[in-house]
Structure 1
């Protein structure tokens, strides 16, 4: 059966991140994508210019509209913007008994533009993280969630895993892409221990929307696989999408990954 997967996130009119990237990744991996918009964002491959958060009540109404009608097998949560939206999302997902929730705690765009109000961090931590099967923070996001300095090594990543897991999700995927080195190492920890997922770094500037793409890929795969397998397959998908990203010519900054590399082929 085709999985129905819901993304709750902000937009990207240039198509490389946010809900547009989520829908592409989910579709490429064989899921049917539904979407709830939390914020309308004016951004492109060069950065975020501004955004308008929608009202928490309207976000809640969108969630109800989908879940009152459609069987949803997994949920990806991305850009939340503020505490009111975080609490509304948590309330409606609890009300509908949603499962397989993948939380990508989006806080700062690649350009450095803040996408989450500072006072909303505690709402994300307390209202949304405990609902998640897995959270997928990068290193700066993990530092904010834990209230620690953003000074990471692989050893510091390993040491932080118990504290991140104690926030309440079933699993934590701590992404190491911000570190230097020939390989990018992510750490997945959960009930059966910790697993390191390594991949060679790819020399490309087309890395816009990588976090959105990875978390959406996990959500698309979770209805069919256990967590370690879903994460491993999602990381392999993202790695291939990065490797084929230079086949696209989109924008003048950090271009998108090639979500449909397996369908379109190289050199399109």
Structure 2
């Protein structure tokens, strides 16, 4: 049954410390859900999946905002919107794949509200930014009244919409290390259309060829091909230490099939996703070096 907006309790904490105290107080009963941009909230309310819990509105907390560049990387506050990401010149230079992903999250109206931490916490395997964060080896920073901790992005998800945040924790920031010099980044989303569509397959990659012409660094992040966003370990292992060639690309494509486990659903089917994933991997490799398409 659709929930009436008048029945929903929304709290607005004064600052981050106040928010953490409220999360701690309600952690045992799970009756308080943090929100920021709220772009998925009305979807849940209209679907009748709201269970009467209240919401903690973090949108006005200055401590969770801002994009800061340091010596080793960039830190994005939890409330960083996708519009802020796509319009940030420094991110475009350092992390073009993230900026490309931000440009296809929903439409411009959604990008103005949707936050990076919200995309992470929503934990959808089709989240557009998540494969990029996986490929870039991001770290998620979380806090509670008990303290702070850093969670490597690759260890964040345990199952479908199941992430390693305690009930009293809030995501406060996302830290992305600068890519190695001469690394190439890649992002592709395949959906029914470019805007306002949920991914059928989404992929991000980072790869570098060393001075000897062999692959010396590679990370391949994938979405919509498993219950969680994943790092394609088998495909990465198949590419490490090889020189670009068509045979190397074919071996990596075969290895990728060991990493992913897509399903049939209302947006697509398993066979289509397997084929498209293989095609995207080869497209990435050719973009890095045309020799991946040669014998």
Task: Name the TM-score, length of structure 1 as normaliser.
Answer: 0.29
Q: Which structure has the bigger radius of gyration?
A: 2
> Which structure has the higher relative contact order (CA within 8 Å, separation 6+)?
1
